[in-house]
Structure 1
Amino acid sequence: MDRIFTVEEARALMPVLLERAAAFVAMRGELAELAYELRSTGTSPAGGLAEAKAYEARLEEILGWFEERGIEVKGVAPLLVDFPSVLDGVRVRLCWLEGDRELVWYHRDELGFAGRRPLP
């Protein structure tokens, strides 16, 4: 069964979530540049295939941190995560999007991102 977060529980995770997200975004950018250079010129000052695989492994490790805690990763570019929750008896997802500094959005399960609203 999915973990159900209260708003307070989810918000308590935000400081470490922001740290993990920042690490993910930086690593994602490094991997994108490295992959582009390897595709376009065959070489990169950042390394080669081994370095690319190391970046990929680190990205997977960071994503695993979210999943181990019951936080759902919905997208990686931009990074989008949901915390399963219940508000006023309705199943919702507390929604955090890369660039947000706080957890202030939610959407009903069946509506997804398009139904995103500010938390009451």
Structure 2
Amino acid sequence: MNRIFTVDEARSLMPLVRGYVDELVGLRADLAELAHDLRNEGRSPLGGIPEAKAFEARVAEILGWFEEQGVEVKGIAPVLVDFPAVLDGRSVRLCWIEGETALGWYHLSELGFPGRRRLP
């Protein structure tokens, strides 16, 4: 989906984004711990291969939700999302990273994260 967001549209999605990100962070940690335990101990209190596959499937579902909304996931550790937008006639990405309390940054599409600026 090639969706272009207004700042208000992107901000209105943030409660859902944060909810899915919270779940994703938990899954990411569980999957990392499970994989570590299985690799080093051969077992884990979190389960085995079936549980790992279930965690991976849920991660894929969450990432699919972002794609359906037109939100770009740029990373999952930490979670970094971009909302395609146009500001002052320029292609930008409204960007949010795990741990931020609100959507308050953007960058020119061609610059990526290093070009982040506060939203006016």
Normalising to structure 2: TM-score of the pair? 0.98
Q: Is 2:24 the counterpart of 1:27?
A: no
Correspondence list, 1:8-87, <5 A: 8-87=8-87
Tell me the equivalent position of 2:2.
2
Identity %: 64
Q: Which runs of 5+ in 2 are unaligned?
A: none
3-state SS of paired residue (1:13): helix
Normalising to structure 1: TM-score of the pair? 0.98
3-state SS of paired residue (1:59): helix
Q: Deviations over 1:17-37 (max 9, x none)?
A: 111100000111011100000
Tell me the equivalent position of 1:90.
90
Number of aligned positions between the proteins: 120
Q: Deviations over 1:36-62 (max 9, x none)?
A: 000011101111000000000001101
Q: Is 2:108 the counterpart of 1:108?
A: yes
Q: Counterpart amino acid of 2:72?
A: E
Superposed CA RMSD: 0.7
Q: CA deviation at 1:101?
A: 1.3
Q: CA deviation at 1:2?
A: 1.3
